[in-house]
Amino acid sequence: MKSEHCIRCTICVENCPVFRVNPDYPGPKQAGPDAQRFRSSREKSVDEWVLLCSQCKRCEMACPSGVNPAEMILRAQQKYSLEHPRKAAHLLFANNYYISRLGSLTAPLANSFAATKIGKRIFQRMGISTKIPFPKFSFKTLREQKRAHGGKNRKVALFCGCFINFYRPDIGKKIIQILQSFRMDVVLPPQVCCGLPALGNGNLALAKSFAAKNVSSLSNYIDAGYDIVYSCTSCGLCLLHDYSGVMGIPGAKKLAENCYDLHEYLLKMITEQEMKPEFKEVKQSLAYHIPCHLRALKIGYPAASLMKLIPGLTTRILDDACCGLSGSYGFKKTNETTAQQLGERAVSLIRQTNAEAIVADCGSCRMQLGGLSGMETLDPVEILWKSLQIQNRK
Amino acid sequence: MSVIEYDVIVIGAGVAGLTAGAFLAGKGLKVALVTSGEPTACLSTGCIDVCAQAKNPLQGIENLPDEHPYHFVPPPMIHQALSDFQQIMTNRMLPYTGLLQENSLVLSAIGAFKTTCLLPVTMQASPKSDDEKIHIVTFAGLKDFYPGYIISRLKKSSFSTYDAGVSTTMGIAANFEKESFLEAFLLWMEKLGIREDKIAVPAVLGLESAPVILQKIENRLERPVFEIPTIPPSMPGRRLFNALKDHFRHQGGDIYWNWPVSGVEKTGRLIEAVITESPGAPNSINARAFLLASGSFVGGGLLALRRTIVEKIFDLPVFVPGQRETWFNQDYFSADHGIGRAGIAVDSSFRPADCRWDNIFVCGAILAHTEALKNGCGHGFAMATGQAAALSCLEYLQ
């Protein structure tokens, strides 16, 4: 933690989406390095406003002095949450994984209940915003649908993430089909939630237990010669950054060294001539909303590099605006206005491009931007799948 | 060829790096820009200082000492770089005005006048003397701007305070992007019955649409309106950065954020790749040439140690201005500190002098003998050397 490296230049403050719209939040400079000097492990936390940080990490991306305000705030959030009673919304979202498992088992019922008036009222009473529709549970999760697949070339263990597993298994299927079409062996190893929702809702212990399970399961696959590939950028950031950082999970370094973003991996395979894709024309103009956590991964924008290879496709990169939802952050009543204002600004920048659809790697960004704009939202995987003209095999 | 192999990697996202990168990308090269954070350009006033210590910037450049890197840029190229810049900013709806033959004055937030060459159109109506009558509009709770400083010097001016609901530069600027906020502000302004000749506001008129917002205020109040650059967070600096960044991308360049270079790969006389530390698999990017625009001390390109000064990326030889005792002047506010001469000395092709590598080009504030503060060599210098180094790099690659 390098709070003393801060020169108070305020570049982080300029980049903080929450600070721009919520006067109650003092911004990353004050909440991070400034307040850090007054925080003591022996004293109880009093700064409830640390919970207003959405952990988008934009402050860390912008800091020219190598200071990590988001991490200081994350640690302060964990300490605060440990010392104060948790709210219903925090408990619910921290346990998102278990709730999603339940939701998928009872998908038709759970989905229609969430959409009813009484359902919405219950959510509101729990401090949960119902401004944008909840994602719909899928009755069959990806993990139920797919088992191991035989291939010849590289071996891939896919960390699909809760969003794809419970809500959009169709995207997961497309990922598997793309990898298989290049004769790769794809498996879905035993896995649980990455732990980020638990971390974001102040439950470090739960996050750590998720992380430990994942590390032990994925390590076995690494030992067996598999590359770990994730497609959710927030899961990825958690696996790579938080497992070894805030959570301090043994074995996290090995996982990080063998773990790739899906598009980063595809680019790597093309470079290593493991695959020679023939991209067919896709006539579409897209606004590519860059998820904050993709920026934070330090890998550039690999899906943008891939989409550049598709004839007929025009993509405008937009990376200045956070969508505001930040996973469960924007679903909390206290953050509802913040999330909405930020989302509206992101949407207005998208509209200026006159794009036909929005593309984003992150399911939660798509939920927010699609919900606020009414525009079609796509995962880059869907574009690649279309361009590669992969048949939907059963 | 691999899909992620670049022709050129630019290190640094300041004005020099973005200018050079966009120039090369515009020539059809594959360009990546890596940066460890946002540049000091974001903290600037957004004004383009070419050679602010002279009345006539071009004359001023001619009179600079022989070793000054400006002398490696042919005067027509300085013209070209600045007119290219003006064109870019016009296309990005943030036009700049000013003449290369004559510096202009801009009223600063402490009521003093700053000399500069090109200025954002939102500062065009800035007064030229203490005698002008201006009405300053400030915002309740905005702690980065005190009209009292200005009124103590411009005695014929007065001020009013508007409650914008928020009290931060970014918050107010974001509000100005909303029609309803601007309308309420204009109604309030009309009721003030302003008598002064001009209206001044701290530079908070919108995140990106400042010229349009300013025009609307001028039309309604029927007199010139201008922005006064503030201390950071500085909206004009951020608008400049955003516009140059968008232009670079529009030309086809890729940007890698939060990508501090922690190592290099080299063979023979060539640098082959730059590496960054990451919790994951090692990240490296290859290129045929490298353009160093990492800035000076504040920008992070140079690091002063107890006895010497180092260049942080390639460990290039650094020109150090004598013994440490001679690095500084007793007078803190003097622009003439020896340390201003530190940096990378280059030849006329903007390659580092006495360098073991053939494919490195250097531009911007990291150049030796610049003395940015003393000579007023700001963004204009970054653009001129950026374009010159890029041209030299292009010739090398062809």
pLDDT tens-place string over residues B196-231: 999 999 999 998 899 999 999 999 999 999 999 999
Helix (H) or strand (E) holding A119: helix A117-125
CB B359 within 8 A of CB B391: no
- % residues pLDDT > 70 (chain B): 99
Looking at residues A41-54, what average pLDDT do you find? 91
Q: How confident is the model at residue A3 (pLDDT cuts 50, 70, 90)?
A: confident
Q: Is residue B128 part of a domain?
A: yes
Rounded Cα distance between A287 and A279, Å, is 20
Backbone angles phi, psi at B294, to 5 degrees: -90, 5
Chain A nearest CA to B233, separation (Å):
6
**Residues of chain A contacting residue B178, judged by C-beta atoms under 8 Å apart:** none
- Determine which of A85-99, B102-116, B137-151 has the lowest per-residue pLDDT on average: A85-99
Residue among B285, B247, B240 nearest B265 (CA): B285
pLDDT at A394: 43
Confidence (pLDDT) at B203: 97
Compare all CA atoms of chain A with the CA of B249 and give the residue at the minimum distance: A317
Q: Do B280 and A240 touch (CB under 8 A)?
A: yes
* B173 part of a folded domain: yes
The range of the structural domain enclosing residue B202 comes to 97-229
Which segment of A132-136, A271-275, B316-320, B355-359 scores lowest on mean pLDDT? A132-136
pTM: 0.92
Integer Cα distance of A96 and A328 in angstroms: 9
The one-letter amino acid at B33: L
Angstrom distance (rounded) from CA A74 to CA A78: 6
| CATH of region A284-387, choose from 3.90.600.10, 3.40.50.1860, 3.30.1220.10, 3.10.105.10 | 3.40.50.1860
- Which percentage of chain B shows pLDDT scores above 90? 87
Contact B258 A259 (CB under 8 A): no
Mean predicted confidence (pLDDT) in B346-373: 96
CB contact residues (below 8 A), chain B span 173-192, against chain A: 174, 177
Q: Which residues of B20-55 are buried (b: 16+ CB within 10 A; e: fewer)?
A: bbbbbbbbebbbbbbbbbbbbbbbbbbbbbbbbbbe
| Secondary structure element (H or E) that encloses residue A143, with its range | helix A142-145
B259 reaches A (C-beta below 8 A): yes
Say which CATH superfamily domain A3-83 falls into: Alpha-helical ferredoxin (1.10.1060.10)
Strands B96-97 and B104-107, bridge-based pairing: unpaired
Chain A residues whose beta carbon lies within 8 Å of the beta carbon of residue B258? 60-61, 295-296, 298
Judge whether residue B302 has pLDDT over 50. Answer: yes
- pLDDT tens digit sequence for B231-263: 988 999 999 999 999 999 999 999 998 899 999
Rounded percentage of chain A residues whose pLDDT exceeds 70: 96
B86/B92 Cα distance (integer angstroms): 10
Domain map (residue ranges) of chain A: 3-83, 284-387
**B256–A300: do the CB atoms touch at under 8 Å?**
yes
What CATH number is attached to the domain comprising B195? 3.40.50
pLDDT at residue A109, rounded to an integer: 77
b/e for B60-97, b at 16 or more Cβ within 10 A? Answer: bbeebeeebbbebbeeeebebbbebbeebbeebebbbe
Asked if omega into B233 is within 30° of 0 (cis), the reply is yes
The number of distinct structural domains making up chain B is 1
Domain membership flag for residue B15: no
Closest CA of chain A from B194, distance in Å: 30
Beta strands, E only, chain A: 155-159, 185-187, 227-230, 259-261, 284-289, 313-318, 357-359, 376-378
**Dihedral Cα B237, B239, B245, B249, nearest 10 deg:** -170
Q: Look at residues A308, A228, A292 and name the one whose alpha carbon lies nearest to residue A265.
A: A228
Does the residue B272 lie in any domain? no
Taking the C-alpha atoms of residue A42 and residue A242, their distance in angstroms, rounded to an integer, is 24
Cα B60 to Cα B101: distance, rounded to the nearest angstrom: 10
Residues of chain B positioned with their CB less than 8 A from the CB of A235: none
This model of the complex carries an ipTM of: 0.88
**Nearest CA among B360, B367, B374 for reference residue B342:** B367
Predicted confidence band at B282 (pLDDT cuts at 50, 70, 90)?
confident
State whether B171 and A256 contact (CB < 8 Å): no
Would you call B171 and A19 a contact, using CB atoms and an 8 Å cutoff?
Answer: yes
Q: Is B93 on the interface with A (CB under 8 A)?
A: no
A29: nearest CA partner in chain B? B233
The whole-number pLDDT of residue A147 equals: 54
Optimal mutation site among B35, B43, B167, B170, interface A, most CBs of chain A within 10 A: B170
The confidence score (pLDDT) of residue B3 equals 55
Average pLDDT over residues A50-67: 93
pLDDT for position A1? 57
Q: Phi/psi at A54 (nearest 5 deg)?
A: -95, 0
Find chain B residues with C-beta within 8 A of A66's C-beta. 36-37, 260
Q: Are B344 and B302 in contact (CB under 8 A)?
A: no
Give the residue ranges of DSSP H helices in chain B: 15-26, 57-62, 75-91, 147-151, 169-176, 179-192, 210-221, 235-250, 372-375, 379-397
Q: Are B132 and B153 in contact (CB under 8 A)?
A: no
Contact yes or no for B258 and A298 at CB 8 A:
yes
Which pLDDT score is estimated for B2?
A: 44
Instruction: For residue A252, give the amino acid letter.
Output: A
In angstroms, rounded to a whole number, what is the distance separating the alpha carbons of residues B385 and B68?
A: 11
- Mean pLDDT of chain A, nearest integer: 89
State pLDDT tens for residues A156-194. Answer: 999 999 999 999 999 999 999 999 999 899 999 999 999
